[in-house]
Structure 1
């Protein structure tokens, strides 16, 4: 399994359950998450990550215009199969250190993403992390599994 990947986008929103907007640089605070994001806080799902490979599965269903943030993920990744990483895996992403806390999630009723996109891959293949070491992340930053 590939132990490295790359960040292709950082995405943010002021509200939960809505599509996120890509930003040029994300500041991630220890035990909080992405500064300014609705999902940040002192809990186990501070940051959400989704692989572009997972988004490709929905694109293959004939749904166009699926850019970064459409599934409300904070970090869009490439070249690492996130949902195969066990809970407890530590990741170095940009300047941050993050720990995988959850794989997938229950999709809440009335999800804007599912109604706009038709299907949501996040409940199946998205992962959640908490921030162990603060720092900034920008698109192009490397993602490394820390052994």
Structure 2
């Protein structure tokens, strides 16, 4: 199946602590080599920004888990229209004013994760992706996500 090269941001989410649900904000300021300004996961490492597709969240809704809103899986950007976890590491994404590079697909869940406790199961380990910020700027809900290099 051909991967869709365009997607959309449906929510920008932030938290000041790790391992907790993130809250949607109007827009986020993303800084080169850091990530989302004010977010607990931002920093000088390879997982500056986390993205999760609404399509992945729908899988959880379809097995009967209720109350799933953007940020519930601690993702910085909730997206739609792309199968994020099929993007190869190294893919460049133009998101709003910013430019990102995919650095990791999925992650290991840590024990004591508030999301897994509250939700019961998590799609982030298999279907969430992580990026570093190559060009900073603002991202808001409704911004287009474009694959510019795979």
**Same fold per TM (> 0.5)?**
yes
Question: 1: CA distance between counterparts of 2:117 and 2:5?
Answer: 34
Could you state the TM-score of these two structures normalised by the residue count of structure 2?
0.97
Following superposition, the deviation at residue 61 of structure 1 comes to 1.1
Which residue in 1 is equivalent to 2:79?
Answer: 77
Which residue in 1 is equivalent to 2:144?
Answer: 142
Could you state the TM-score of these two structures normalised by the residue count of structure 1?
0.99
Aligned equivalent of 2:36, options 16, 34, 37: 34
Question: 1: CA distance between counterparts of 2:114 and 2:32?
Answer: 29
Question: 1: CA distance between counterparts of 2:120 and 2:4?
Answer: 30
Structure 1 segments, 4+ long, off by >6 Å, are none
- Residue 126 (1) aligns with residue 148 (2): no
Residue ranges of structure 1 left out of the alignment (5+ in a row): none
Residue ranges of structure 2 left out of the alignment (5+ in a row): none
How many residues in Structure 1 have an aligned counterpart in Structure 2? Answer: 147
Aligned equivalent of 1:23, options 14, 22, 25: 25
- The root-mean-square deviation of aligned C-alpha atoms, in Å, is 0.4
Following superposition, the deviation at residue 66 of structure 1 comes to 0.2
